[in-house]
């Protein structure tokens, strides 16, 4: 606990464009590159914190985009943050409460305050969050492949690398038969599917057939904003449903659990507006016996580091999507990069997120930079 309030002196938005090593295909489209903001924050002591915005350039996954994140941060959220000192990172989401939604924009700033706060305390971020694990188990998310043969090859590669759980993206026409082939080749792996909202209750027969394949779960089969049809579907399936897109807050999680719309929740820090809200959902799920795991948004190193820290909390009992930096990027923006050995990430014990930002690499990807400062706050 620091007793001294934190005065944010300066917020820098670094806009980056990074090319993915392999294109990533979901039911709503293909990603070739990631454009996002690195948020850098400095306080009155010279301590700094980092965060990443996770929205994509198109509003396919949610309504937010890189441009809406920029607009919200610049016009509303950064001014609120610079307005006066804050006592604790938990205060940030409260301060942002007057702004409706825009959770990814809020989160990009909030997670940077958490990093900064942990660094001021000379403490690893995961410990500030109440995390207990020294290492975390990770799985991998595999995009839609053109053929079952190619999919099986891709899965084999990741099985050999040691990833603990395979998540396969599905959509109508690329679902049951593909998964069946994977299951036939790998009878014992932890296997799951993610539909990114590609189905409706009209597809009930197909979705029921997936019960044959012994999937750990099916993620977000129905509409991005639904928790009612998911409850109907869950009552028809033995495979657990995991919600991703439908959960934007603790309140969404509570309602989904009360309606029995899902048995598992994927927590993405950006989607729920930051680490404080992520913790709230985590604590509630722990109380309710709902398993959680940490989702991914094709993050670069800083976002990945925040995911690692969050995953050390005890109710993250299922492997998440936080794969190695090298799965996505030629060169990541942090040192060391996030490394996965035998399906495990060793959690760094250095202050804050525990990884250094590689300035030179960051600048090599940077397409724009904007600085906001407040000289009015006294230390």
**Which residues are the active-site residues?**
169, 268
Is residue 261 a contact point for ligand OSB (CB under 6 A)? no
The DSSP line for 226-252 is -SHHHHHHHHH-SSPEEESTT--SHHH
Q: Give the Cα separation of 40 and 375 in Å (integer).
A: 17
Residue 346: CA atoms inside 13 Å, Cβ hemisphere, count?
Answer: 8
- Number of Cβ atoms within 10 Å of the Cβ of 194: 26
Contacts of 238 (CB under 8 A, 6+ apart): 211
Whether 142 and 151 have beta carbons less than 8 Å apart is answered as yes
In this structure, what DSSP letter does residue 312 have?
T
Chain position whose Cβ is nearest to ligand OSB: 296
Minimum distance, C-beta of residue 193 to ligand OSB, in the bound complex (Å): 11
Is residue 298 a contact point for ligand OSB (CB under 6 A)? yes
Whether 208 and 233 have beta carbons less than 8 Å apart is answered as no
**Residue whose CB is less far from ligand OSB, 48 or 220:** 220
Task: Give how far the C-alpha of residue 225 lies from the chain's centroid of Cα atoms, to the nearest Å.
Answer: 18
- 292 strand-pairing partners: 265
Is residue 61 a contact point for ligand OSB (CB under 6 A)? yes
Task: Give how far the C-alpha of residue 91 lies from the chain's centroid of Cα atoms, to the nearest Å.
Answer: 21
Name which of residues 215 to 234 contact Mg ion (CB under 5 A).
219
- 346 strand-pairing partners: 135
- Binding partner of residue 323 among ligand OSB, Mg ion, none, CB cut-off 5 to 8 Å per kind: ligand OSB
Is residue 321 a contact point for Mg ion (CB under 5 A)? no
**Residue whose CB is less far from ligand OSB, 180 or 224:** 224
Q: Which stretch binds ligand OSB (CB under 6 A): 13-21, 90-98, 228-236, 289-297?
A: 289-297
Q: Which stretch binds Mg ion (CB under 5 A): 23-31, 82-90, 163-171, 192-200?
A: 192-200
Is residue 343 a contact point for ligand OSB (CB under 6 A)? no
272-299 burial, b at 16+ Cβ within 10 Å, e below that, comes to bbbbbbbbbbbebbbeeebbbbbbbbbb
- Binding partner of residue 90 among Mg ion, ligand OSB, none, CB cut-off 5 to 8 Å per kind: none
Contacts with ligand OSB by CB under 6 A: the residue count is 12
Minimum distance, C-beta of residue 297 to ligand OSB, in the bound complex (Å): 6
Report the residue from 51, 124, 295, 354 that binds ligand OSB according to the rule CB under 6 A.
295
Name which of residues 185 to 214 contact ligand OSB (CB under 6 A).
194, 196
Pairing of strands 48-52, 29-43: antiparallel
Q: Give the Cα separation of 290 and 324 in Å (integer).
A: 26
Is residue 297 a contact point for ligand OSB (CB under 6 A)? yes
**Residue whose CB is less far from ligand OSB, 86 or 345:** 345
**Residue whose CB is less far from ligand OSB, 92 or 269:** 269
Q: Give the Cα separation of 108 and 96 in Å (integer).
A: 12
Whether 232 and 201 have beta carbons less than 8 Å apart is answered as yes
Minimum distance, C-beta of residue 278 to ligand OSB, in the bound complex (Å): 15
Residues that bind Mg ion (CB under 5 A): 194, 219, 244
Residues that bind ligand OSB (CB under 6 A): 26, 61, 141, 194, 196, 244, 295-298, 321, 323
């Amino acid at each position: 606990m620091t007793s001294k309030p934190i005065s944010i002196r300066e917020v820098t938005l670094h806009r980056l464009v990074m090319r993915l090593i392999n294109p990533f295909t979901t039911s709503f489209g293909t990603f070739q590159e990631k454009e996002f903001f690195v948020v850098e924050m400095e306080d009155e002591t010279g301590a700094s914190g980092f965060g990443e915005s996770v929205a994509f350039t198109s509003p396919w996954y949610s309504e937010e985009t890189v441009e809406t994140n920029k607009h919200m941060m610049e016009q509303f959220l950064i001014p609120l943050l610079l307005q006066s000192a804050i006592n604790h990172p938990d205060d940030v989401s409260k301060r942002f409460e007057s702004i409706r939604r825009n959770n990814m924009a809020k989160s990009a700033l909030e997670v940077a305050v958490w990093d900064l706060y942990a660094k001021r305390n000379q403490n690893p971020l995961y410990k500030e969050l109440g995390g207990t694990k020294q290492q975390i188990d990770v799985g991998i998310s595999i995009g839609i492949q053109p053929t079952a043969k190619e999919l099986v090859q891709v899965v084999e590669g990741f099985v050999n690398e040691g990833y603990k759980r395979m998540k396969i993206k599905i959509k109508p026409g690329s679902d049951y038969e593909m998964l069946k082939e994977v299951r036939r080749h790998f009878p014992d792996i932890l296997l799951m599917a993610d539909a990114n909202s590609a189905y409706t209750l009209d597809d009930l027969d197909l979705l029921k057939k997936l019960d044959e394949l012994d999937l750990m779960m099916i993620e977000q089969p129905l509409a991005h904003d639904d928790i009612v049809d998911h409850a109907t579907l869950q009552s028809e399936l033995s495979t657990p449903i995991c919600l991703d897109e439908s959960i934007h807050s603790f309140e969404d999680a509570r309602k989904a659990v009360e309606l029995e719309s899902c048995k598992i929740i994927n927590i993405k820090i950006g989607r729920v507006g930051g680490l404080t809200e992520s913790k709230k959902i985590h604590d509630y799920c722990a109380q309710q016996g709902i398993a959680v795991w940490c989702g991914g948004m094709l993050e670069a190193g800083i976002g990945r580091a925040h995911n690692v820290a969050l995953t050390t909390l005890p109710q993250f009992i299922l492997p998440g999507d936080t794969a190695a930096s090298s799965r996505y990027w030629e060169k990541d923006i942090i040192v060391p990069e996030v490394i996965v050995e035998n399906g495990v990430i060793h959690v760094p014990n250095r202050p804050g997120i525990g990884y250094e930002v590689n300035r030179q690499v960051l600048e090599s990807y940077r397409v724009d930079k904007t600085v906001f400062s407040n000289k009015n706050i006294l230390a």
